[in-house]
Structure 1
Amino acid sequence: MMSERGMVAPAADGSIFAQFDDILAAAAPELAGQVRAMAYDADTGRLDVAPDSPVLRHEAELERDEAGRSCQ
């Protein structure tokens, strides 16, 4: 998502978690305050995030399931 918007992720020395709110606000402002960083893989650049509330988690699961059905 960041590279699609011309951004570069910060170094993976823990600063990505410290700067997560700023990164999220710049990369996906519609998600600000709704998700939190869970894990970062420096080798692949993958940042795993999770919804902050059970309601958002349920909505994400429904969307994931719907997307899975449409790909079959």
Structure 2
Amino acid sequence: HKKKDKKKLPLIIPILLYHGSRPFNAPKNLWALFSDPKLAKQLMGGDYKLIDLQSMSDDDIKQKQYVGMLE
């Protein structure tokens, strides 16, 4: 989508089509599928964590060599 020079991503509407032999009984809310729904919604529904390597010095990156990329 970004290659088409669009400024914003399109809205994605989750739709589930179920064709089972038994009634559907799973949660209909994405967050309810996680062991901690409130935390999942907070982490996945809010702003993403940005690690801007461009703004960090090489020394800062090297100091965190084991966890720096996963921070």
TM-score by length of 2: 0.23
* Structure ID, larger Rg: 2
Specify which structure has the higher proportion of strand: 1
Specify which structure has the higher proportion of helix: 1
TM-score by length of 1: 0.23
User: Relative contact order, CA 8 A, sep 6+: which one is greater?
Assistant: 1
